[in-house]
Amino acid sequence: MKAVPLILLCALLPACRTNESPEAQVNDLEITTSIKSKLASDVGLSSVPNIAVNSTNGVVTLSGQVSSATDKSKAESIAKSVPKVVRVINNLQVAATPSASVAPRKTERAGVSLPFVRCLLLAKS
């Protein structure tokens, strides 16, 4: 029975380790917060809720979806402008714009396909 707490402790112990000092963790938190607030205050970035910001040892990773290549570039510029940022990895994806759909033919709107109509016309003749 004494082995259970020991096994549990050994399983949870690796989760407590980090490769960052407490000071570096605070710096990364400040970097992430600063980037998120600058993105939110930039009126042109309407896709801010879709952008995830992660910072480790001053290396910032941007991920998620934005509506245009301009927004992707703007987000990267904002991240690079924040003090203590060492490098920015921009993994943002530009969302595909929905293409205009072709309107169905009148016969297809009624649930009748064009081949079916042709078949009916041939049957009448």
CA–CA gap between residue 78 and residue 71 (Å, rounded) = 10
Q: What Cα–Cα distance (Å) separates residue 38 from each residue in 15, 45, 68, 78, 124?
A: 31, 10, 18, 7, 70
CA–CA gap between residue 85 and residue 103 (Å, rounded) = 50
pLDDT at 22: 79
Please write the tens of the pLDDT for every residue from 58-94.
Answer: 999 999 998 889 989 999 999 999 999 999 999 999 9
The candidate with the shortest Cα–Cα distance to 57, out of 18, 20, 15, is: 20
